[in-house]
Amino acid sequence: MSVVTTKLLKGDLTTINVDAIVNAANSSLLGGGGVDGAIHKVGGPEILQACKIIIKEQGGCKTGEAVITTAGNLPAKKVIHTVGPIFEEDADVESQKHLLANCYLNSLRLAETHHLKSVSFPNISTGVYGFPKRLAAEVAIETVLNYQSTVVETVIFVCFDDENFQIYNNILK
């Protein structure tokens, strides 16, 4: 078992050529805005078709859980869709951090069972879902750095905005 190698990039997740990119989806799995919108737009209708099969089989995807589909026209081989927590100011922070950690953990586990060696994550829940960026970054990095695997070798964090990039850069340095 070995610890994964992490890398940090600023850019667009849909351009990243890895085995799997991770989508910050919603529980319906029917697409949306943000990185979800970009993935479906670039990946094409095959992804939504695959999501609809999953919806038929298991309904949508619960917060903190993950499902896997084709990547369609994307450079990646697969898309792992996970649903981050919608941040609530007056709710318990630890339980929300735990749900967010599960997004990273369950995505990595899914990559492992599908023999995928490289995985790229966006900053899950830090856009529409309003999770504080620093807090989310700490959860993401801690979860990934604690993950031991015989399959997954590389995790690339892709930050779309400057603020997230600076936060990740400071923590990873």
Summarize as ranges the residues that interact with ligand APR (CB under 6 A). Answer: 12-14, 24-26, 32-38, 84, 122-129, 158, 160-161, 164
Least Å distance, CB 66 to ligand APR, is: 13
| Minimum distance from residue 17 beta carbon to ligand APR (Å) | 14
Minimum CB separation of residue 130 from ligand APR in Å reads 7
d(Cα 74, Cα 78) in Å, to the nearest integer? 9
Q: Which is nearer to ligand APR, 87 or 114 (CB)?
A: 87
3-class SS of residue 42: helix
Pick the closer one to ligand APR by CB: 42 or 151: 42
Is 109 within 8 Å of 65 (Cβ atoms)? Answer: no
Contact by Cβ (8 Å): 121, 156: yes
- Beta carbon nearer to ligand APR, 40 or 116: 40
Least CB distance to ligand APR at residue 9 (A): 9
Run of H or E including 39: helix 34-43
The residue behind tokens 């890895």 is 18
Going by the DSSP 8-state scheme, the letter that residue 161 receives in this structure is S
Of the candidates 67, 66, 73, 75, the one whose C-alpha atom is nearest the C-alpha of residue 19 is 75
Q: Exactly one of 36, 90, 92, 162 is catalytic; name it.
A: 36
Q: Is the dihedral of CA 33, 8, 75, 26 positive or negative?
A: negative
Radius of gyration of the chain (CA): 15
Residue 36 annotated among the catalytic residues of the structure: yes
By beta-carbon proximity to ligand APR, the closer residue of 71 and 115 is 71
The residues that are catalytic are 36
